């Protein structure tokens, strides 16, 4: 079924669990589609005008349709309670400890994805709307001791493989949605809120970050790139960006 649906690569630890729910739902929908289709063709033939010159006002007496409806509701409840809710609960309740994870701030803005890494001190600097300029799109305070070494990238996120990622998601204007299909990550960025999202990339390579909420005229170009690299390459990335910051 997964191949039939043409699902994108599973590039995170929880991707298979999400796909399992998608596959179950599609099987249920396929059975319902075929069932309804057969029933439709049956009624066309069984109740055709030539064989039924007068209408029958008595209606259905059998309870089969009620039993079928209850069975469908039961299967839906099983998918929801046994598969969907447990998969969701892990995403929202079982965050990995921050000291064993890559922690980033992801800031959505019409029509860009900004990523901030805390730098060698491990602390994120202050951001303030009054500091926003053409070269400081997110208002990062470089005079704040915690912010001086923060690394800021636009539309390019780099992360190490096989390490959990915790992204604190926020937006500077409207509602956006942080979507990385290959990682099975999707979370709305809501004005005034900082929403944590976590996942663990398991495959190195280049992936796409999209905005999954229509957020304005430039929504179509709100596209970022995610590079998953080895732990060593990630450390080199951080030191290169740190050196560039020191040179500025």
Binding residues for Cu ion, per CB under 5 A?
A: 176, 211, 215, 222
| Closer residue to Cu ion in complex, CB, 138/215 | 215
Q: Of 68 and 214, which CB lies nearer to Cu ion in the complex structure?
A: 214
- What are the φ/ψ torsions at residue 156 (nearest 5 degrees)? -145, 115
Q: How far apart are CA 115 and CA 152, in angstroms?
A: 6
d(CA 138, CA 25): 40
CB of 136 to Cu ion, least distance (A): 20
Q: Which of 201, 202, 205, 175 is nearest to 189 (CA)?
A: 175
Q: Which is nearer to Cu ion, 140 or 222 (CB)?
A: 222
Nearest to 90 by CA among 18, 25, 20: 18
Measured from the CB atom, the residue of 176 and 184 that comes closer to Cu ion is 176
What is the separation of C-alpha 93 from the centre of its chain, rounded to a whole number of angstroms? Answer: 16
In the complex, minimum distance from the CB of residue 207 to Cu ion, in angstroms, rounded to a whole number: 17
Nearest distance, CB of residue 106 and Cu ion, angstroms: 12
Q: Say how far apart CA 107 and CA 132 lie, in whole Å.
A: 13
Residue among 114 and 176 whose Cβ is closer to Cu ion: 176
Q: Which two tokens stand for residue 141?
A: 């305070």
Q: How far is CA 15 from CA 7, 96, 126, 181, 226, in A?
A: 11, 17, 34, 9, 16
What is the end-to-end Cα distance of the chain in Å, rounded? 53
Residue written as tokens 């280049």?
A: 206
Q: What's the min distance (Å) between Cβ of 168 and Cu ion?
A: 17
Q: Which is nearer to Cu ion, 14 or 176 (CB)?
A: 176
Least distance in angstroms from the C-beta of 173 to Cu ion:
9
Nearest approach, Cβ of residue 232 and Cu ion (Å):
33
Beta-bridge mates of residue 153:
115
CA 58 to chain centre: 51
């Amino acid at each position: 079924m997964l191949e039939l649906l043409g699902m994108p690569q599973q590039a995170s630890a929880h991707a298979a669990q999400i796909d399992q729910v998608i596959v179950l739902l599609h099987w249920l929908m396929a059975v319902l589609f075929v069932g309804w289709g057969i029933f439709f063709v049956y009624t066309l033939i069984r109740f055709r005008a030539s064989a039924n010159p007068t209408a029958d006002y008595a209606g259905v007496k059998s309870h089969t349709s009620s039993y079928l409806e209850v069975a469908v509701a039961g299967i839906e409840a099983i998918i929801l309670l046994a598969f969907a809710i447990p998969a969701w609960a892990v995403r929202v309740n079982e965050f990995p400890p921050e000291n064993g994870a890559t922690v980033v701030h992801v800031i959505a803005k019409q029509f860009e994805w900004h990523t901030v890494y805390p730098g060698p001190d491990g602390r994120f600097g202050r951001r303030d709307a009054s500091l926003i300029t053409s070269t400081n799109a997110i208002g990062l305070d470089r005079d704040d001791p915690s912010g001086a070494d923060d690394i800021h990238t636009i539309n390019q996120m780099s992360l190490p493989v096989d390490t959990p990622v915790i992204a604190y998601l926020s937006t500077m204007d409207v509602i956006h949605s942080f979507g990385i299909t290959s990682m099975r990550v999707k979370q709305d960025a809501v004005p005034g809120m900082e929403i944590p999202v976590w996942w663990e990339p398991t495959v190195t390579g280049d992936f796409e970050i999209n905005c999954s909420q229509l957020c304005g005229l430039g929504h179509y170009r709100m596209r970022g790139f995610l590079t998953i690299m080895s732990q060593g390459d990630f450390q080199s990335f951080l030191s290169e960006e740190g050196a560039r910051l020191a040179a500025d």
